[in-house]
């Protein structure tokens, strides 16, 4: 409950000691969170996801359950679109499942493996979803060698 009292002036005779706390390895902590979330992204509904992406699979439309917070944190377009919708389904006509998985790998882990053709499709998808921040920071990681995949 919020109090409507006037804030009290600190008593100069009382010394308060504050301690600044932080995680020793913040990067790995957040990576572990995103990695654990990645495991809940599925082709079936999950109780931990709240957005369905409907993409094109080999046999027709295919739903992929994801976390709207991950996508909308990187796109004001999606944030504005999803803010007032319950049980949202985002239809991605003619976007292949492989392209969606690549986008999700990128958003959840910061990297994905894609062929030249897949990279082009990925850039188009990121652009159409308003993920400009991701696009602006997208680079080819030449330091990682992937068998059978050329940059």
In this predicted structure, what is the pLDDT of residue 58? 87
Contact 116, 125 (CB under 8 A): no
Mean pLDDT score across all residues of the chain: 80
List 53's β-bridge partners, or say none.
64, 90
Relative to beta strand 51-57, strand 89-96 is parallel
**Of the candidate ranges 12-21, 54-63, 108-117, 122-131, the one whose mean pLDDT is the lowest:** 12-21
- Percentage of the chain exceeding pLDDT 90: 31
Contacting residues for 55 by C-beta, under 8 A, at least 6 apart? 61, 62, 64, 92, 95, 96, 97, 99, 100
d(CA 29, CA 137): 21
Mean pLDDT of 123-146: 83
List alpha helices for 16-96, DSSP H. 26-38, 68-72, 76-82
Which pLDDT tens digit goes with each residue over 68-98?
988 999 999 999 989 888 889 999 999 999 9
pLDDT for 145 beyond 60 = no
In this predicted structure, what is the pLDDT of residue 146? 45
pTM: 0.70
Q: Which residue has the higher pLDDT, 3 or 70?
A: 70
Which residue is listed with tokens 């100069």? 12
In this predicted structure, what is the pLDDT of residue 150? 46
Largest CA distance in the chain: 74
In this predicted structure, what is the pLDDT of residue 40? 58
In this predicted structure, what is the pLDDT of residue 127? 95
């Amino acid at each position: 409950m919020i109090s409507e009292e006037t804030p009290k002036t600190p008593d100069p005779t009382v010394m308060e000691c504050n301690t600044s706390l932080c995680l020793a390895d913040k990067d790995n902590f957040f990576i572990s969170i995103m990695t654990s979330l990645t495991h809940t992204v599925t082709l079936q509904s999950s109780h931990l996801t709240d957005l369905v992406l409907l993409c094109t699979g080999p046999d027709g439309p295919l739903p992929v359950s994801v976390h709207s917070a991950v996508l909308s944190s990187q796109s004001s377009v999606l944030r504005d679109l999803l803010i007032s919708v319950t049980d949202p389904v985002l239809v991605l006509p003619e976007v292949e499942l492989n392209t969606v998985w690549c986008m999700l790998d990128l958003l959840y882990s910061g990297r994905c493996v894609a062929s030249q053709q897949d990279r082009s499709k990925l850039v188009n998808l990121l652009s159409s979803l308003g993920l400009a921040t991701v696009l602006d920071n997208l680079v080819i990681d030449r330091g990682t060698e992937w068998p059978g995949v050329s940059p």
